[in-house]
Amino acid sequence: MPKRVLSGVKPSAEMMHLGNWFGAVRQFVELQATEDNYIFIADYHAMTTVHDAKQLRANSLEIATQYMACGLDPAHTVLWRQSDVPEVCELTWLLSCVTGMGLLERAHGYKSARQEGRDVSMGLFCYPVLMAADILAYEADIVPVGEDQVQHVEMTRDMAERFNNTYGDTLKLPAYRLAKGALRVPGVDGQKMSKSYGNTIGLFEPEGAMKKKIMGIVTDSTPMGTPLDPDKCTVFALHTLFPGDDLEELRAAYLSGTIGYGGAKKALLTKVLDALAPIRARYDELKRDPSYVADVLREGAVKARLVARRTMDACRLAAGFADPVG
């Protein structure tokens, strides 16, 4: 029987990049074939950093467009905006009333903000409670995460257990799943590809901008005709993300010195553009029809609310509230 797999993505003005694709998005697309896929645009969470209404709306539509271009199919994945399901806010309050401040003070995000001297809002402090509500409202079985996000699911389980111990067995405890097959994608400077490092190769950026980035990948000054070490080369590492019959030939060319960094970069550009052509074409198509993307999000919210309403009805009953009006 399929498991319900749930994940959220915070809307951002920045383009999705190769690291996102190989790190998480590809996994979500593949899971559609075997699992019950639920993915939401975490626009409530974005309020801790984005305070421009127009930008938040645009970012939410943009990230949904990008995910759909990458292959998320509304026929097989429930995709919606977090803010279109108000039940998560109600559940957040119920969970807040059984969650100790000590647990929230141990959250990585809060601790980092304090250490960096940033102003901490109640939204940031209570961020893990809203995150727990996001997971628990939809009866998730599995939450795919990276190692740095395991704490989020563990805190969610703690809150659910406290609620269940207080009011009876009501909430399903989720399990985390470390991303399988996620690859470490190097950025153009050799570090891990990340928006925070400014070293990304965007999936949907113009071809000219992509060419400039790839041709500018940091390499050493070894002259043409000299053997190169493929295992210490960022360009070759990016080639390996797109396996094919040419990979061993490229390795041999590196070792024999018959290819230089410039030639390897040109070959990489061709390979990346060829591999991304279908999703870039789909992105352009969706950008021309934003009303369709908006409709997908609305229809997804209707499906998601059916589950969230069922969860809230059970929680309200357990906690002693009357049936909801209307």
pLDDT over 90 at 63, yes or no: yes
List the CATH code of the domain at 195-284. 1.10.240.10
How high is the pLDDT of residue 173? 97
How high is the pLDDT of residue 280? 97
pLDDT over 60 at 181, yes or no: no
The sign one gets for the Cα dihedral 52, 293, 32, 21 is negative
How high is the pLDDT of residue 325? 66
Lowest model confidence (mean pLDDT) among 17-31, 68-82, 308-322: 17-31
CATH 1.10.240.10 segments of the chain: 195-284
Please count the helices (runs of H) and the strands (runs of E) in the chain. Answer: 15, 5
Coil vs helix vs strand at 165 = helix
CATH 3.40.50.620 segments of the chain: 4-184+289-319
Percent of the chain at pLDDT above 70? 98
Q: Are 260 and 214 spatial neighbours (Cβ–Cβ below 8 Å)?
A: no
Residues 214-254 pLDDT 10s: 999 999 999 989 999 999 999 999 999 988 778 999 999 99
How high is the pLDDT of residue 179? 66
Q: What is the Cα–Cα distance from 214 to 244, expressed in whole angstroms?
A: 19
What's the angle, vertex CA 109, arms to CA 82 and CA 95, rounded to 5? 55
pTM value is 0.91
Rg (CA), the chain: 22
Q: Are 196 and 19 spatial neighbours (Cβ–Cβ below 8 Å)?
A: no
Taking Cα atoms as reference points, which of 235, 227, 283, 282 lies closest to residue 255? Answer: 227
**The domain 4-184+289-319 belongs to what CATH superfamily?**
HUPs (3.40.50.620)
Interhelix angle 87-96/127-137, rounded to 10 degrees, is 120
User: What mean pLDDT is predicted for residues 190-197?
Assistant: 91
Q: What is the Cα–Cα distance from 199 to 110, expressed in whole angstroms?
A: 26
Residues 113-147 pLDDT 10s: 888 888 888 988 999 999 999 999 999 999 988 77
